[in-house]
Amino acid sequence: MRWEELDQQPCSLARALSVVGDRWTLVILRDCFLGVRRFDDFEARLGITRHILSDRLKKLLDAGVLEKRPYQERPRRDEYRLTVKGRDLYPVILSLVHWGDRYMADDRGPPIRHRHRGCGHRMRGVLVCSECGDDLHPRDVEVEESPAWEGQLMPRKRSQSQD
């Protein structure tokens, strides 16, 4: 399968990755969440080539994850800002950050800490069930195919141990 076909797969993960699944897009978005908005600032912070940066920003605009807004006229300059669609990627970013904090930190510990303004504490993001509020673990989640894709999604069964 070629990368461009990924957004036609019957899988929301594959489709999401067709937007944010390449090597640089999520680091660009991390900077967006930190308040970076201008081309040169992205370039300076990311150490990414202008070529690739330009291409990725364009794709994020096309995908509706970022939008351009003028911050001055004459000369016209635009900055890149997260849309609502883009802001909704926050759980993805924060989950990745906490995974990195846990498994990839060196002896100096995690480089960034998060504090929740609501309660004032240092915290992590935790994934919970939208209905009952309990923590979610993979084994507690049952997946069902939507009838529209009957038979195309799930792995064929092998006799397999449950651990």
Task: Indicate which of a second copy, DNA, none lies near residue 75 (CB less than 5 to 8 Å, by partner kind).
Answer: DNA
CA distance 102 to 121: 19
Please report whether residue 55 would count as binding DNA according to CB under 7 A.
yes
- For the chain, state the CA radius of gyration: 20
**3-class secondary structure, 149:** helix
Stretch that binds DNA, among 7-15, 77-85, 101-109, 138-146 (CB under 7 A): 77-85
Task: Indicate which of DNA, a second copy, none lies near residue 113 (CB less than 5 to 8 Å, by partner kind).
Answer: a second copy
Sequence-separated (6 or more) residues with CB below 8 Å from residue 94: 114, 125
Indicate the burial class of 65 (C-beta count within 10 angstroms; 0-12, 13-18, 19 or more). buried
CA end-to-end distance (rounded Å), the chain: 31
Site for a second copy in 79-138 (CB under 8 A): 85, 87-105, 108-119, 121-134, 136-138
Binding marks (x or -) toward DNA, 95..134, rule CB under 7 A?
A: ----------------------------------------
Stretch that binds DNA, among 50-58, 82-90, 109-117, 118-126 (CB under 7 A): 50-58
CA distance 42 to 34: 11
Please report whether residue 160 would count as binding a second copy according to CB under 8 A.
yes
Stretch that binds DNA, among 2-10, 84-92, 94-102, 132-140 (CB under 7 A): 2-10
Rounded to a whole number of angstroms, the minimum distance from the CB of residue 121 to DNA is 36
Q: Are 97 and 112 in contact (CB under 8 A)?
A: yes
